[in-house]
Amino acid sequence: MQSSVPQAKFAFSRPGLLTFKIEGQTMVAAEALPRCPFIRSFGWSGEMISGTLDEVAPKLESYRKQHRAGYLHVWERDSKRVGDRGFEPFAKPEWEAWGAKLLALGGPDWAGVAVNRSVPSGEKVLDLIQVDQDRWLLGFHVAASTASSWVGGAPPVTSAKVISRAYYKIKEAMLWSELPVQSGQHALELGAAPGGACQYMLEQGLQVIGVDPAEMSPEILSHPKFEHWRMRASDIRKRRLGRVDWLVCDSNVAPQHTLDTVEGITTNQHVQCRGIILTLKMPDWKLAEHLPSYLQRVKSWGFSFVTSRHLAFNRQEICVVASRSLA
């Protein structure tokens, strides 16, 4: 991030929350920040406020009038890393309670304000972020993308009975990327066991092929739209893949190995998939320095649109999405 925006200097920070002071042409320099794949949510900070919600409400009202915003996102920074003692970035029930209390404190003037809802593109949103107990950061952002319309940049996903947490990752990847995935199309997942991602894709009406020598969940195996190819990706006969529209890979191997495997499939003359969703594991975060070259390599396979993001549900890994068109 620092190399992308050299004018940005670290300011007040906590785990899960960073602020920067940007020198020079502030607006121009800041435009690069949302493009950083490690920034989930980006906005302009106004001031740090200490106190209860009752004490915060008057300053929030003044700020809302100043910015004429019809939306409010009230949330808290992640208290832990994803996976740490079971932490997952689901919205907490108390966030809704905070929002309801602020609406009540705001009175009639807040009647038309939507709290903690996804925001239409181009709309201004007030952000009230709990940094610590009774310590809040007040600011705003403009919803300029799918992810920036979400509360805290995390998808509106709730806890469910899933086979594995790969379910949440593929769901977020599809929501964020807005790939034109349609019911009835075919998806191929490499390293599919036990079937979390397959579970979500089957729910979307896709015909799914899971490639993995390991056991799949009985629930997935019994689904009429699922096929299990019990083999390694290197053993797939490429002639069988002419019907595949989407390729998914979330294997627990080094990025280079994932890219080698997927390149061998997507560049084959018998394969014309519309797009791919890859998870690049980062056993050492220093590998992230190679992300631009990884993306360029994916683009060289014939994909005109290639992007990456550290998803809210990602652990030490990066999601890469590519499609042959921008549609």
What are the mean pLDDT values of the chain's consecutive 10-residue runs (327 residues total)? 62 86 62 77 88 92 88 92 90 93 88 92 94 93 92 93 96 96 97 97 98 97 97 93 96 95 95 96 94 96 95 96 83
- The token duo for 193 is 């066991």
Q: What is the pTM of this model?
A: 0.92
Residue at token pair 């300011």: 11
- Please state, in angstroms and rounded to a whole number, the distance separating the CA atoms of residues 301 and 299: 5
Bridge partners (DSSP) listed for residue 229: 211
Residue 79, pLDDT score: 81
Q: Are 15 and 122 in contact (CB under 8 A)?
A: no
- Please state, in angstroms and rounded to a whole number, the distance separating the CA atoms of residues 91 and 273: 34
User: Which structural domains are found in the chain, ordered by start?
Assistant: 1-39 (no CATH), 44-153 (3.30.2300), 166-323 (3.40.50.150)
> In sequence order, what are the residues at sequence separation of 6 or more whose Cβ sits closer than 8 angstroms to the Cβ of residue 78?
15, 16, 87, 89
Beta strands in the chain (DSSP E): 8-14, 17-22, 44-50, 71-76, 114-115, 124-132, 135-142, 186-190, 207-211, 226-229, 246-249, 275-281, 305-309, 317-323
Q: Are 276 and 246 in contact (CB under 8 A)?
A: yes
Residue 326, pLDDT score: 67
HSE, CB side, 13 Å, CA atoms: give it for residue 217.
13
Residue 64, pLDDT score: 87
- Please state, in angstroms and rounded to a whole number, the distance separating the CA atoms of residues 310 and 173: 10
Q: Are 125 and 79 in contact (CB under 8 A)?
A: no
Angle 226-231-237 (CA atoms, 0-180°, nearest 5)?
90
DSSP 216: P
Residue 1, pLDDT score: 45
Using a 10 angstrom Cβ sphere, with 0-12 exposed, 13-18 middle and 19 or more buried, the burial of residue 168 is: buried
Q: Report the amino acid identity of residue 183.
A: S
- Please state, in angstroms and rounded to a whole number, the distance separating the CA atoms of residues 247 and 250: 10
Residue at token pair 């920067």: 20
- Please state, in angstroms and rounded to a whole number, the distance separating the CA atoms of residues 229 and 265: 15
- Please state, in angstroms and rounded to a whole number, the distance separating the CA atoms of residues 323 and 248: 12
